[in-house]
Amino acid sequence: MSDNRLIVFDTTLRDGEQSPGASMNLTEKLEVARALELLGVDVIEAGFPITSPDDFEAVRAVARQARRSGVAGLARCVPEDIDRAAEAVAEARRPRVHVFLATSKIHRKFKLRKARGEILRLAVEGVRRAKAAVADVQFSPEDAARTEPEFLAQVVEAVIDAGATTVNIPDTVGWAMPEGFRALIEYLFEHVANIRRAVIAVHCHDDLGMAVASTLAAVQAGARQVEVTINGIGERAGNAALEEVVMALKTRPEAFSGCDTGIRTELLHPTSRLVSRVTGLAVARNKAVVGENAFAHESGIHADGVLKERTTYEIMDPRAVGLAKSQLVLGKHSGRHQFRQRLRELGFRLADKDVDAFFFGPFKELADRKKEIFDADIAALVETETVRVPETWRLCGFQVATATGGMPTATVELEEAATGRRTRDAATGDGPVDAIFRALERITGVALKLADYQIRSVTAGKEAQGEVRLEVRLGERTLSGRGVSTDILEASAKAYLGVINRVVARRNGKAPRPPSRRRPRRRTRTAKPST
């Protein structure tokens, strides 16, 4: 690889999965891993194998599936963690073990209760142990950005001597300012004698909204691996967003001495949508690169400018990130062939038989309700259908009565999929949506605690479909649901019933399943060691 070719290390499946409410099952992880590989990611960090049997299996399955990308498993500097991670990635074509140990004073004193010397010793032993199992070993001094630079340099030098091929410098808590972070990387290049024997990576969190800026500043200082996630998901405020880092490098090469990545940028949009769908984490409309508004021009002056010459107000070509130009696509008279073709253009890789069996019918129903079907409608429809969980309960219909000053009442009818038996019940609530949720709970016997409810229109106009995304708490877990309909009450009912079906599926040991895919194993997650 040339000196200017950056390694893209994607941690959507590990740090990204640490986003509250974002856990993915095995099938979903494999689907995301496939998409990451197609996107051109160099290394996929697939999970933290010691944390649970499911995490271990997921890393192993990704390792077996990966053709081109390397696959990394995370491990604390503990022998059992390292051995487990090495075992999980063993079948990858390019296996990597990623060992981490905190080095900052605050972590040494309060979390680890260890002195510098012991940290140094453990780091070296951890790397040596990993090295005995795999050739490609990455070490991360956790909370590096708050570590005393001279101690950090000592650790980096020692782990490279012990065999680390990549040393990652994490801004674990998003504390760094881009200038300071650049200076830290420059300091390491000046003070670590053997630094050219390893790749220097960076991993920045977004607590102060600096993750992408700090990552790019580090590239200017010589870092050659960027650790990122799709849509910037990750612990707390998330990680540096892959799409933003990649497009900054591509759009402003002169600012980064021509450094580039192997990412196929035209797959950024489909990959972003996939990750949003499987994690249930919506992408903000104004999110750079992949947000819905990223290429929308509202002001007349801007729209006029773009029509005359696109580059007046667009610094990136929407097609370069996978956004089709045409927005108006299909209608009531569109046939199967047109529908399949549009799905392919939107980045959905589905078998024709699945398109016919699962999506064409709902598309026709939607076309009956809505004259014009836009790209976003099609994406919403496919994404809703694909994350279908085994449906214990189906919504047959509902009726809502509400009046100013009155008590909203909802009557809901559900069908039990296994028996075809229909049940109707009614409930009152604080509002019509609440009444529907209560009626659903009465029929199914599943009581949930709503933690978040958001509604937005999928496209513009009076006929637009409404998308409801919600999160519920079930004990310690957060589950997310999504429903789309031209009727927002129906979208709400579908989203809530989706979560109820998910809960029932979990209780029965059945996880969500996309069409014509194998049923994944049951998820039995234990508490994760803190990273």
Q: Measured from the CB of residue 198, what is the shortest distance to ligand KIV in angstroms?
A: 15
15 binds Zn ion (CB under 5 A): yes
Burial 118-150 (b: 16+ CB within 10 A, else e): ebbebbbbbbbbbbebbebbbbbbbbbbbbeee
How close are the terminal C-alpha atoms of the chain, in Å? 31
Q: Measured from the CB of residue 15, what is the shortest distance to ligand KIV in angstroms?
A: 5
Residue 100, contacted partner among Zn ion, ligand KIV, none, CB below 5-8 A by kind: ligand KIV
Residue 330's nearest CA partner among 378, 362, 296, 365 is: 378
Q: Measured from the CB of residue 82, what is the shortest distance to ligand KIV in angstroms?
A: 14
Select 74 or 274, whichever has its Cβ closest to ligand KIV. 74
Residue 69's nearest CA partner among 129, 23, 13 is: 13
Q: Is 256 helix (H, G, I), strand (E, B) or coil?
A: helix
Instruction: List contacts with ligand KIV (CB under 6 A).
Output: 15, 74, 100, 140, 142, 168, 170, 172, 203, 205, 531
| Cα gap 295→291, rounded to integer Å | 8
Measured CA angle at 169 (ends 35, 43), to 5 deg = 20
Residue 140, contacted partner among Zn ion, ligand KIV, none, CB below 5-8 A by kind: ligand KIV
Token pair 């010397």: residue: 117
Residue number of the CB atom closest to Zn ion: 15
Select 203 or 506, whichever has its Cβ closest to ligand KIV. 203
Q: Measured from the CB of residue 233, what is the shortest distance to Zn ion in angstroms?
A: 11
Q: Measured from the CB of residue 96, what is the shortest distance to ligand KIV in angstroms?
A: 13
Q: Measured from the CB of residue 250, what is the shortest distance to Zn ion in angstroms?
A: 24
Give burial (CB, 10 Å; 0-12/13-18/19+) of 165. middle
Residue 142, contacted partner among Zn ion, ligand KIV, none, CB below 5-8 A by kind: ligand KIV
> What's 442's DSSP letter?
H
Q: What residues form DSSP beta bridges with 428?
A: 409
Contacts to Zn ion from residues 266-285, by CB under 5 A: none
Q: Measured from the CB of residue 82, what is the shortest distance to Zn ion in angstroms?
A: 18
Select 83 or 235, whichever has its Cβ closest to ligand KIV. 235
CB atoms within 10 A of CB 65: 18
Which one of the spans 8-16, 60-68, 301-309, 333-341 is the region binding Zn ion (CB under 5 A)?
8-16
Select 6 or 74, whichever has its Cβ closest to ligand KIV. 74
Select 106 or 132, whichever has its Cβ closest to Zn ion. 106
Give burial (CB, 10 Å; 0-12/13-18/19+) of 117. exposed
Residue 45's nearest CA partner among 6, 21, 18 is: 18
Select 156 or 387, whichever has its Cβ closest to ligand KIV. 156
Select 48 or 437, whichever has its Cβ closest to ligand KIV. 48
What is the contact surface with Zn ion in residues (CB under 5 A)?
15
